[in-house]
Structure 1
Amino acid sequence: MLKQFLSNITLVISFIFICNSYSQDSQSLNCNSYELNGNRVIFGCDKGAKLSLKFLDSRNIKFWYSPDGSFKRNNESFAVINDEFDKDYKVDVSESASNFEVFTGDLRVIVQKAPLQVQIFDKYQRLVLGDLDAEAYVTDGSGVETRKVLREDEQFFGLGEKAGPLNRRGRSYKMWNSDKPCYSENEDPLYKSIPFFLSTHNYGIFLDNTYKTEFDFGDKNEDYFSFSAPDGPFIYYFMYGKDFKEIIGSYLRLTGKPIMPPNWALGWSQSRGLLTNENLTRDIAKEYRERNIPCDIIYQDIGWVDGLQNFDWREDRYDDPEDMLSDLAEKGFKVIVSQDPVISQATKAQWEEANNEGYLVLDDRTGKAYDMPWPWGGNAGVVDFTKPGVADWWGELQQKPLDDGVKGFWTDMGEPAWSNEESTDRLHMKHHLGMHDEIHNVYGLTWDKVVTEQFNQRNPNTRVFQMTRAAYAGMQRYTFGWSGDSGNGRDVADGWDNLANQIPVGLSAGMGLIPFWTTDISGYCGEITDYDEFAELYIRWLQFGIFNPLSRAHHEGNNAVEPWLFGQEAEKIAKRSIELKYQLHPYLYTYAREAYDTGMPIMRALVLEYPGDEKTYHAEGEFLFGEEILIAPVVEEGERIKEVYLPEGDWFDYNNPQKLYEGEQEIEVDAPLDVIPMFVKAGSIIPKMPVMDYIGQMDNAPMILEIFPSKKTSEFTIYEDDGTTNDYEHGEFVKTRIATSMSTSGMNIEINEPEVSGGFDNSTKRNYWLEVHLTEKPASVSLNSEKLKKSKIEKLQENWNSEFDKSGYHYDKEKKMLQILIPDTKESLEITLKY
């Protein structure tokens, strides 16, 4: 207790010293009064300024600083859909001569009167977040900046899809959606604006402001960090939790759950910039099926349209699009088409309609439609998705290809494109809901909202597929994400740094509630002139990309990036890697549901699962795929030995399960070109399926359970639903808990009776196929106390998706794996192994 007390005293003294050192030349802001209304406290300050603290519950607080005390805003929040976590929550304020205090069950909030300074402590009196004395809120015209004390050990993560290191400490960032093709690992800003970050001091901040906000995590000054907005309401949410998972959960409650993709969206997909004609699409589909490489999706880039953006097929490129889509569907392919948010002046009929109806963003200098140069299709008008009437008009247009058989969209160029920081003329754009400086960062979000809501309205109870490039916080309610135009445009084969940085880009995206994400596998940028030279980078990019929840191979122009173009060895490696993605589909789909429920990403930075391990703060070259699997992609040319940090626990080498490593150490593993360094935590149960050409190809497919034993009891709950409807939102699904435990005489495996929710139909017949990694052959294997017979593996797997009345086991001496076949009776099953 004495040690803790002295530590707290030292912290407070240091805090006061730092704060006072910045107050000498600053004008103080004093606050001497307050108003209390239920869960909201408004503090009255000098010159009419006010600070509002709304307690959403005992851990989450909405701050609103209003320099003029009006608490005015042009628009309601585009991101926040719920700031009433506990509608009955109330607080009390105690006042002393020097401060106000609010106690919750978890926090102690002290508001110092002179100068204004807010300090938030946990219930153990440890400082969580503290304002900088006398410079807590700095105003500059319409802009506001808040400065917070920066502790020496404090680290920061988040801000969504940003380049650079995963740990944001010592760097600064801007929120301004920008089209940055071939961006480097140090470039900022990029396509998306997610002003939400996490601190290792157990809190998160969401700055709910759509203008060009800025975040400085000790770049300018090592003693404080800051965030600011040049205009608009200065609102930010403080979220406290015992770990990052809890904080992300609060952000989920604040901004909404991510939509679940259709199950086939988690398969492999193929694209290219000029994949925009029927013959090429059919040829690619034919090659995939003849080569037995799994693939579910073929994209069509923007050249599929007759004119921007009329949603009519180009007659010179597509002979019969409905017939094409029908033929591809029979072979298991789904087609996704691109759309742009503009109307080209060359598309005369649609241009005149949009212009006459007032559906286009205006130029505040002329009052006419803003004349936007567009990379293709000539000058265009920007569609104003904030204006009433536009949604139904756009929804009717986009329904045309959906009625033909298209399965979804990727919304591209939604910054809108060429509207970067230097494009100041764009600030003359006037949207229905405000000027462009306010709407710019949410323009893509308003578009994606229209696309999804119109899809849902016109295609009832069908899961939407929509993937976007430009977005803002809250995007997860409508769309998925990809990281834009990555790669090296100067030398395509020299894109190793670009590949390496896609790992932290993707991990940070996941922390910002973009759980369904992909990189452009191969990198988007660069002319591929030598496929042999590019093959190694392509393979390594693909080996990373199969662990993106949405895996899309894509490249600019007519640079084809189908696996067979890189030589026989590359094709073989790519095929095996893609097959692994399909095998892991039940595991991936289970974590897709967890992302929906909790906001936890599927690709996880190690710090999310091991927050107490400081080595995870900088472990950005590897990640967890779900909770059980660790992936360490090779991202250096010629590298064949990979250094990997393993966190707490024991870890099996997935490529060589006879090897088991202790955690909390760095190891070196062999990583030849055909190997993805991959580890599975001891005790893991990994649900899998047989390799298929596409998701759902095999009826009555067996559920494969790969088990990596541990001395501890372990479990995994498999999630299943119909995969394509929105019934999951209404509680129609099934969960099956699998558990393992060890005893002195052997091992028990329990498959619990499925928990069926709602009206889900769980009557489909199937088998279970167990793969248990064991160093020795068991003396006996029993199912519900009855001994199973030994059998040859070929006999067990024969008709394993059509015969449901046989069982048995086989021990593979070479693989040191026990393989068991048992029917799924929809009742509790207990498998006992005796040594």
Structure 2
Amino acid sequence: YRAYAAFPDFFQNSTITWWAREISEVYNNPQNFSMSLKFDGIWIDMNEPSSFVHGSVSGCRNQELNFPPYIPQLGERSQGLSYKTLCMEGQQFLADGSPVRHYDVHNLYGWAQTKPTLDILHELTQERGIVVTRSTFPTSGQWAGHWLGDNTAAWNQLDKSIIGGTSKKCHFGGDKIGLSPGKIRIYGKIREKMTTTRQDPVAWNSTFEEISRNVLNIRYRLLPYLYTLMHQAHATGSTVVRPLLHEFVGDRRTWEIFKQFLWGPALLISPVLEKGAVEVNAYLPDARWYDYHTDEFIRFRGQFQNLSAPLGHINLHVRGGYILPQQDPAQTTFYSRINPLSLLVALNDSQQAEGQLYWDNGVQIGEF
């Protein structure tokens, strides 16, 4: 924020010790216990690392590192690699004391912070908790979920949010859930400030409230299926939100589809992405499909079709051959977990279906 500041080097063990102390003193205030702030999770922001100063307040020294022959498409190529981040010649040290340039480990900054943060959270709370981080790298998904960052509640952002979501192993969502795809994400939040328009459902009208309630209840109903997918992602490295090509890689038409996505292998989501649209041109790969809302068998496959998408309706299709566990929704996940479970069985062409359910107490570490 245009001030003199230092960025912690999370490769160093001494930094992890400092980070643990900082977090623990929030959880248990050593000066005044009544000022302690208990929490269940930690949300990490700006850890690309990001800065509102390009490089440093005094500029960068190494022209070759900050302006290499090839510069990827950044906000401003003319600013070089230090655009809204650190100077590339910045010095960091690995745990064994080996020096490295920030240029060589920039993409690992968030990764180096993530696992220690989860370990600290477990130590403090003795519960599973959650870590959400804006900067990830391969293997980060076993410790935390990824969020996109400061996308806006604008129509031209919706397809980009799907692209971002399907590119991460354990993607949690973006910043705005006010529009169609946002409400069917595995994680949604609304960030506002005093200078922006309110976007929570009750800030609109009763029609929007009802639409939001209905769509969010679908997500709550599907939590057992989603919870199982999350466990599989944690245990085996599979994906939760995935592009169609992950399931139908032999179908070349799926390779370029980015306006639809899947939850796991079995739930196809085809949202409205254009303002005023009342239908969606959706592709249903070569499998047996059923309308999630009506249980109706879909009598086409392996082709695009225009599907009706009136206000408040998101096209959801269940893939034949799978069983989706469900649960009656409630006001919160605590109460919904008490409600009865059910199974949605979608038969394939051989009149067979299978599925999985992972279930535990939802809180403790290693408890089934």
> Structure 2 length as normaliser, TM-score?
0.81
Q: Is the 8 A contact 1:584 1:688 kept in 2?
A: yes
Q: Is the 8 A contact 1:521 1:553 kept in 2?
A: yes
Write the mapping of 1:27-38 to structure 2, written as runs, cut at 5 A.
none
Write the mapping of 1:189-208 to structure 2, written as runs, cut at 5 A.
none
Instruction: For residue 718 of structure 1, give the secondary structure of its aligned residue in structure 2.
Output: coil
Deviation at 1:480, TM superposition (A): 1.2
Instruction: For residue 594 of structure 1, give the secondary structure of its aligned residue in structure 2.
Output: helix
Deviation at 1:619, TM superposition (A): 1.4
Write the mapping of 1:292-691 to structure 2, written as runs, cut at 5 A.
374=1, 378-403=3-28, 404-418=37-51, 421-423=80-82, 426-433=87-94, 434-460=100-126, 462-487=127-152, 495-509=154-168, 514-522=169-177, 538=178, 541=179, 543-555=180-192, 558-559=195-196, 560-691=198-329
Deviation at 1:563, TM superposition (A): 0.9
The structure whose RCO (Cα within 8 Å, separation 6+) is larger is 2
Instruction: For residue 43 of structure 2, give the secondary structure of its aligned residue in structure 1.
Output: strand
Q: Is the 8 A contact 1:518 1:550 kept in 2?
A: yes
What residue is the counterpart of 1:717 in the other structure? 356
Q: Is the 8 A contact 2:287 2:302 kept in 1?
A: yes
Deviation at 1:598, TM superposition (A): 2.5
- How has the CA–CA distance of structure 1 residues 642 and 699 changed in structure 2, closer, same or farther, with 3 Å as cutoff? closer
CA distance, structure 2, for counterparts of residue 505 and residue 626 of structure 1: 16
Deviation at 1:437, TM superposition (A): 1.2
Instruction: For residue 685 of structure 1, give the secondary structure of its aligned residue in structure 2.
Output: strand
Q: Is the 8 A contact 2:320 2:353 kept in 1?
A: no
Deviation at 1:448, TM superposition (A): 1.9
Larger relative strand fraction: 1
Q: Is the 8 A contact 1:391 1:454 kept in 2?
A: no
CA distance, structure 1, for counterparts of residue 337 and residue 265 of structure 2: 29
CA distance, structure 2, for counterparts of residue 408 and residue 586 of structure 1: 21
CA distance, structure 1, for counterparts of residue 236 and residue 193 of structure 2: 35
Instruction: For residue 355 of structure 2, give the secondary structure of its aligned residue in structure 1.
Output: strand
Deviation at 1:582, TM superposition (A): 0.5
What residue is the counterpart of 1:199 in the other structure? none
CA distance, structure 2, for counterparts of residue 596 and residue 410 of structure 1: 18
Moved more, 445-454 or 616-625: 445-454
Q: Is the 8 A contact 2:346 2:353 kept in 1?
A: no
Q: Is the 8 A contact 2:271 2:315 kept in 1?
A: yes
- How has the CA–CA distance of structure 1 residues 422 and 716 changed in structure 2, closer, same or farther, with 3 Å as cutoff? closer
Tell me which structure has the larger Cα radius of gyration.
1
Structure 1 unaligned blocks of 5 or more: 1-373, 523-537, 734-835
Instruction: For residue 39 of structure 2, give the secondary structure of its aligned residue in structure 1.
Output: coil
Question: Is residue 695 of structure 1 aligned with residue 328 of structure 2?
Answer: no
Deviation string for 1:224-247 (max 9, x for gaps)? xxxxxxxxxxxxxxxxxxxxxxxx
* AA aligned opposite 1:720: W
CA distance, structure 1, for counterparts of residue 18 and residue 236 of structure 2: 35
Q: Is the 8 A contact 2:183 2:215 kept in 1?
A: yes
- How has the CA–CA distance of structure 1 residues 429 and 639 changed in structure 2, closer, same or farther, with 3 Å as cutoff? same
* AA aligned opposite 1:674: G
Instruction: For residue 333 of structure 2, give the secondary structure of its aligned residue in structure 1.
Output: coil
* AA aligned opposite 1:438: D
Aligned residue pairs total: 325
CA distance, structure 2, for counterparts of residue 699 and residue 624 of structure 1: 24
Deviation string for 1:549-595 (max 9, x for gaps)? 22222345553321111222111111111111111011111111221
Q: Is the 8 A contact 1:547 1:625 kept in 2?
A: no
Instruction: For residue 666 of structure 1, give the secondary structure of its aligned residue in structure 2.
Output: strand
CA distance, structure 2, for counterparts of residue 716 and residue 654 of structure 1: 16
Instruction: For residue 149 of structure 2, give the secondary structure of its aligned residue in structure 1.
Output: coil
Deviation at 1:466, TM superposition (A): 0.9
CA distance, structure 2, for counterparts of residue 695 and residue 472 of structure 1: 29
Deviation at 1:698, TM superposition (A): 5.0
* AA aligned opposite 1:502: S
Larger relative helix fraction: 2
- How has the CA–CA distance of structure 1 residues 430 and 481 changed in structure 2, closer, same or farther, with 3 Å as cutoff? same
CA distance, structure 1, for counterparts of residue 337 and residue 296 of structure 2: 33
- How has the CA–CA distance of structure 1 residues 681 and 557 changed in structure 2, closer, same or farther, with 3 Å as cutoff? same
- How has the CA–CA distance of structure 1 residues 705 and 481 changed in structure 2, closer, same or farther, with 3 Å as cutoff? same
Instruction: For residue 597 of structure 1, give the secondary structure of its aligned residue in structure 2.
Output: helix
- How has the CA–CA distance of structure 1 residues 694 and 670 changed in structure 2, closer, same or farther, with 3 Å as cutoff? same
Write the mapping of 1:741-760 to structure 2, written as runs, cut at 5 A.
none
Q: Is the 8 A contact 2:329 2:339 kept in 1?
A: no
